[in-house]
Amino acid sequence: MTRSRDNATNVAGDISGVTAGTGLSGGGTDGTVTLNLSTPVASTNGGTGLSSFTTGDMIYSSSGNTLAKLGIGTTSQVLTVASGVPSWATPAGGGGITLINSGGTSLSGATTTISSIPTSYKNLYLIMLDVVNSLDDRECHLTFNSDNNNNYNTTGYTTVNATSSFFNTNSTNKIRWGQGTASTTADNKSMAIINIYDYASTGQRIITSDQRSRAGTDNVSLKGTGTYFGSSAITSITFSMGAGVYNSGTAFLYGVS
Amino acid sequence: MTKTTKPMVRIHDLKSNEVIDREMNDFEFAQYQANQAQAEAEIAEAEARAQAKAAAQAKLAALGLTVDDLTALGL
């Protein structure tokens, strides 16, 4: 059958008009017919349902077929999950070491105490530098929280030149951290590393010490492991001597996260 | 001028970052004296043990024996 454009009668198969459906605008019954999106295509139809974005936005499902935008976080934030949906968050700090007593604490007198130690770290780490005592070869002690009760144990050994002597003290009122020297010669002064683990807890805590000095004509060292079973978090450390006083030296106290 | 009669102590307060040097108070001094006496007793005890050991070794040597000889005897 031949048809002409002025034929006013539609027959089967002819398109008589285009109607804009949901989310569309435009349409018509003759001539050029245009359809436009009037609303974003829904996620159930393969779209996002979103009409605008900002640089850095990410799309995620906030609930079933509902998509949402997550705006970009700030520098160094990382993508994490909170309440079942993604979000940006500042990462928790990793392990680190912080000098707590800025500049160190100079040792002086019969006792030197570092007090008001914050309990926000995991462990304490002490570096004892260039310690000089008034007497040679005398025990250097530690106590915590001004606790002079028998809440300390120490086991270890001292070495004088090539001869070692073991010591083992249970339930005493101090911890041995070193064997002092009165020498002011630079390379004779006492040096030590002391670790206090889990100091902010109230259970039994472990303390280790490695120390070396030269007392008189002897090379002296101490290696000890102690425990403290006082009932409070450690907030102060007192350095004392079996005899004599601290003439000089510096204690650097670090908090380990 | 007040005469210093007790040992000095140093306290470094990290909260205020203040360093205080002062004489021991009575309680601290009593504790200090007790610790000193204890330490001296421990030193004297260690020295006595060392002297006794040296004396015993000298007696062994006079008998022509050594510590290894005693060990060999299971002593």
Looking at the predicted structure, is the pLDDT value of residue A75 above 90?
Answer: no
Q: What percent of chain A is modeled with pLDDT above 70?
A: 97
* Mean pLDDT for all residues in chain A: 91
The tokens for A58 are 């990410």
Q: What percent of chain A is modeled with pLDDT above 90?
A: 72
Long-range contacts (CB closer than 8 Å, 24 or more residues apart) made by A18-26: none
pLDDT one-digit tens code per residue, A175-194: 999 998 999 999 999 999 99
User: How many angstroms separate the CA atoms of A194 and A178, rounded?
Assistant: 10
Q: What percent of chain B is modeled with pLDDT above 70?
A: 95
Whether A160 and A218 have beta carbons less than 8 Å apart is answered as yes
Q: How far is A211 from chain B (nearest CA, A)?
A: 19
Whether A120 and A235 have beta carbons less than 8 Å apart is answered as no
Over range B51-67, report the average pLDDT. 90
What is Dmax (Cα atoms) for chain B?
Answer: 69
Alpha helices in B1-75 (DSSP H): 26-62, 67-72
H or E segment at B75? none
How far is CA A225 from each of CA A46, A111, A113, A228, B5, rounded to the nearest angstrom?
Answer: 67, 22, 21, 10, 36
> DSSP letter at A109?
B
Over range B6-32, report the average pLDDT. 93
Looking at the predicted structure, is the pLDDT value of residue B53 above 80?
Answer: yes
> What is the pTM (predicted TM-score) of this model?
0.69
CB contact under 8 A, A243 and B32: no
Q: How far is A188 from chain B (nearest CA, A)?
A: 23
Whether B40 and A243 have beta carbons less than 8 Å apart is answered as yes
Question: What would you report as the CA-atom Rg of chain B, rounded to the nearest whole angstrom?
Answer: 24
Give me the sign of the Cα torsion angle A119, A122, A127, A131. positive
Looking at residue B32, what is its pLDDT? 87
User: How many angstroms separate the CA atoms of A237 and A256, rounded?
Assistant: 16
Q: Among B14, B15, B24, select the one facing A110 at the smallest CB separation.
A: B24
User: How many angstroms separate the CA atoms of A207 and A196, rounded?
Assistant: 5
How many CB pairs (< 8 A) connect A and B? 72
Over range A198-227, report the average pLDDT. 94
Whether A162 and A144 have beta carbons less than 8 Å apart is answered as no
Query: N- to C-terminal Cα distance for chain A?
Result: 90
A113 CB within 8 Å of a chain B CB: yes
pLDDT band at B45 (very low <50, low <70, confident <90, very high): confident
CB contact under 8 A, B19 and A106: yes
Lowest-confidence segment of A78-87, A126-135, B38-47 by average pLDDT:
B38-47
pLDDT band at A2 (very low <50, low <70, confident <90, very high): low
pLDDT band at A207 (very low <50, low <70, confident <90, very high): very high
Looking at the predicted structure, is the pLDDT value of residue A255 above 70?
Answer: yes
ipTM reported for the complex, 2 dp? 0.71
A240 CB within 8 Å of a chain B CB: yes
CB contact under 8 A, A101 and B14: yes
User: How many angstroms separate the CA atoms of B60 and B35, rounded?
Assistant: 37
> DSSP letter at A51?
-
> Which residues, including other chains, have CB under 8 Å from residue A3's CB and lie 6 or more apart?
A11
B75 CB within 8 Å of a chain A CB: no
H or E segment at B12? strand B8-13
pLDDT band at A19 (very low <50, low <70, confident <90, very high): very high
User: How many angstroms separate the CA atoms of B43 and A244, rounded?
Assistant: 14
Over range A18-37, report the average pLDDT. 89
The tokens for A244 are 């004599």
pLDDT band at A7 (very low <50, low <70, confident <90, very high): low
